[in-house]
Structure 1
Amino acid sequence: MSKTMSADFKSRRDAETAVEHIVQEHGIDRSAVTIAPAGDDNTAGTEAARADIEDGRLKEGTEGEPALEGEIRVTVAFDEGLTEKVMTSFETYGGRAIDAV
């Protein structure tokens, strides 16, 4: 049976790392994974990742990149037998508000 699970992440980097783990370690097809803003605003998360830091400080302005306006949501569709593994991957990389359907 197919299942869907979502989690919100503070940074784009954390979301992408969780996705890579889910795809590479658990064999879930990348097309079964979506990454999108958790809200209505275009965002790169709520916390700066290394790409958002310049000379030891947060970059001035967004320089064409999405601002830090909200969390990033990752949603994965998978076979029910992988529920625990997907949840663990989300939690390991900081996923919060995990929702399973």
Structure 2
Amino acid sequence: MSDDSTKTMWAIFATRETADRAVEHLVQQCGIDRADVFIEPDTHANTAGVEASGGDTVRADAPLHGEIRVSVDIARTDLLKAEQAFRQAGARSVMAQ
């Protein structure tokens, strides 16, 4: 990022279900383009989270190797709104840089 008007914000989630919910909150409540939101493992291992949820509860092979990170580049003026969306979705922690 070349200026100080945009920040990267990310949150950590226990399940893929809550991470997906956070994405929907960011898109619907904050007006963020879905292509600007990223979901990835918070570790180097592929994971569906640390707890089974949704479709993972019926699968014996769902990898539960760590938490899930959702990140977004967002205008500094929208940080509070994005933090609220993350927390409403069930974030374990929220950080901005």
Q: TM-score, normalised by structure 2?
A: 0.89
Aligned pairs (5 A) from 1:1-101: 1-54=5-58, 59=59, 61-62=60-61, 66-101=62-97
- Give the superposed CA RMSD: 1.1
Amino acid at match of 1:84: L
| Count of residues paired in the alignment | 93
Any runs of at least 4 consecutive aligned residues in structure 1 with deviations exceeding 4 A, and if so which? none
Larger radius of gyration between Structure 1 and Structure 2: 1
Shift of 1:20: 0.6
Q: Residues 29 and 85 of structure 2 are in contact (CA less than 8 Å); yes or no, is this contact kept in structure 1?
A: no
* Identity %, equivalent residues: 42
